[in-house]
Amino acid sequence: MDFDGAVIASAIEVPYRRKPSGVTTMSLLADAFAALLNDSGLPAERIDGLAVSSFTLKPDHAIDIAWRLGLRLRWVMEDTNGGASGINMLQHALRAVQCGDATNVAILAADHLSEAALLHLNDNYNAVVRDHLAPLPFGGPNGLFSFVTQAQMRRERLEPVDYARVCIAQREWAALNPNAVYRTPLSVKDYLNAQPVAPPLGRYDCVPVVSGADGLLVSREDGRRGRGVRVRALHALHNYDQQMGDGLETGLLLVADDLWRQAGLAPDDMDIACVYDDYPVMVLAQLRDLGLMGGMSMKSFVAERLSTRSLPVNTSGGQLSAGQAGAAGGLHGLVEAVTQLRGAAGARQVADARRAVVSGYGMMEYRYCLCANAVVLERAP
């Protein structure tokens, strides 16, 4: 089933900040909602659907946000799937609009994580983490992705300099994004000399934690309103290997053919890719699983396509340079891709960007994450 009749009408980001004062998750959600209304030109009364994702919303839920925002809703959902939550919410919102359950769905994600809140989240992410990883201790997801990185280095014959190139390329994009928290140039020497975090992972392999929010508006397609972005395909596969593999693949590997078939497009047709970048290892895993490396080795792809930025990947700077605002990270790539397709990306605008692929990845279990999804977007003619 295609996605005709529903479009992404608006995309916004509340600028990410490191340790801001006077900010709460609730205030960030309110700011994101206001920005969506401002960007779309819709009055709040026209919003009849709401989807929310946040790690720090408790004890509130999406409906509590609706009450605080004064919304009367025909459709409401909350998503708890972290780095996959953005595309998950989009998947549900598109169908709700297509089926007539709602006309204008605001998708919001935000987090303001204090140091204490981050530590608590890392150790209490789920029961497996709380009971089997936190007592080790395991250093949060850094420890787990150190092992995934080491396995990928062996299998793909990668060296630290290859991961440096991933981070440097994203930093070069970030230098063009006024809202990225890290914009200063990064060199291979900086990367290799960085403070170790969980070797081989160092400081620049890990996302800077920020406070911020992202938002999308999914609306019934309306020929009178331009600048919309259409969804050509969307697929998800969660817990695809039952945590019995090595974490080097994601569920995207098994749905990529269906994704491109539904889109009627091929990886080479993409002008931009925004993949969930909690760690460089997963940037490469998702790009490979989606088929964007073609027949190239991972090492050659990094050197020839990613490092040169001939394939624009994570053009906001990604979470590695723009920052990770908790669950908002699940929307960050979507918002960036839509911004690019609307021609609104400023200095980092990819010329004549018409199509983009965005992927989500998240929800750490015992050794790596469970959730994966991807969407192919196209600028409306």
Q: Show the DSSP H helices in the chain as ranges.
A: 25-40, 62-69, 85-99, 115-123, 127-128, 141-156, 160-174, 188-192, 252-263, 280-289, 298-301, 318-322, 329-341
Please report, as a single letter, which amino acid is at residue 335: V
Gap between the Cα atoms of 231 and 100, Å rounded: 17
- Taking the least distance from each CB to another protein, the nearer of 78 and 278 is 278
Q: Contacts with another protein: how many residues (CB under 8 A)?
A: 31
Minimum CB separation from another protein for residue 210, in Å? Answer: 17
> Smallest distance, Å, CB 243 to another protein?
8
Residue 244 interacts with another protein (CB under 8 A): yes or no: yes
> For residues 173-212, which are near another protein according to CB under 8 A?
196-201
Of these, 1, 22, 58, 131, which contacts another protein (CB under 8 A)? 131
> Which CB, 112 or 232, lies closer to another protein?
112
Is residue 238 part of the contact set for another protein (CB under 8 A)? no
Residue appearing with tokens 């047709």: 269
Residues 80, 142, 297, 307: which binds another protein (CB under 8 A)? 142
Using the rule CB under 8 A, is 83 a contact of another protein? no
Cis peptide before 59 (omega within 30 of 0): yes
Amino acid making up residue 169? A
Q: Does 236 bind another protein (CB under 8 A)?
A: no
Is residue 206 within a helix (H) or strand (E), and if so which, with residue range? none
Phi, psi of 310 (to 5 degrees): -70, -30
**Binder among 3, 16, 55, 138 for another protein (CB under 8 A):** 138
Residue 243's nearest CA partner among 374, 371, 84 is 371
Q: Is residue 137 within the footprint of another protein (CB under 8 A)?
A: yes
Query: Judged by CB under 8 A, which of 110, 133, 210, 334 binds another protein?
Result: 133
Type of residue found at 81 = N
Q: Does 140 bind another protein (CB under 8 A)?
A: yes
d(CA 39, CA 85): 22
- What are the residues binding another protein (CB under 8 A)? 115, 119, 122, 128, 131-133, 135-140, 142-144, 146-147, 150-151, 196-201, 242-244, 366-367
